[in-house]
Amino acid sequence: MAAAALALGVGCAEPYARLAAPYYAFVDELLATGHPWEIAGVAVAPGKTRFTAELQLRGYVRRSMSAANRAARVVGRVQVGEVIETPLVFWTLLLGWPAATLRQRARRLAIGIPVFFGVEALTTGTQLMLPMAQASAILAGHPDPTAWDHWSRFLESGGQFVIDCVAAMLIAAGPGRHARLTAASMPQN
């Protein structure tokens, strides 16, 4: 199964990133709310070498919410191989986890879809926004690492894989494993 997931990741990374770009644009617009940030667009573009592609967020940062002029133009970059990491790990674990019944697997899938979108927002969505947070900090005179920097470092040092795995395993271990509490099963006084 791991070899199949790797082959799928290599072959489908760029198409998946193109398909997911509108979702990331939506998520990043939500994340920009309350900040002096303007999202111009999210799209797949050529990377630094001719063999790579990147998901890129292009945007602008103002010095404050009330500032009329843009103070910085930023580009957030995430390689398409990183973009496909969450769906590969999350869905491989969740769908590959043994299930006693088809109903249990369907329940996991139904719970997994909204959780997956949340995990995508927490990982790739926030990674794309990092340059905007850094530009805001620099414009405000605070070049020290921000919470966004710390979150990004956590994700890049294996945290994204951990979040993907934990989310999938919590869903897989949850439905159907716990006894239902009913009035008949409750102790009577």
Beta bridge partners of 57: 42, 76
81-110 average pLDDT score: 91
* 3-class secondary-structure state, position 60: strand
Of residues 150 and 48, which shows the higher confidence score?
A: 150
What pTM was estimated for this model as a whole? 0.82
Residue 118 has pLDDT above 60, yes or no: yes
Q: How far apart, in whole angstroms, are the C-alpha atoms of residue 7 and residue 4? A: 5
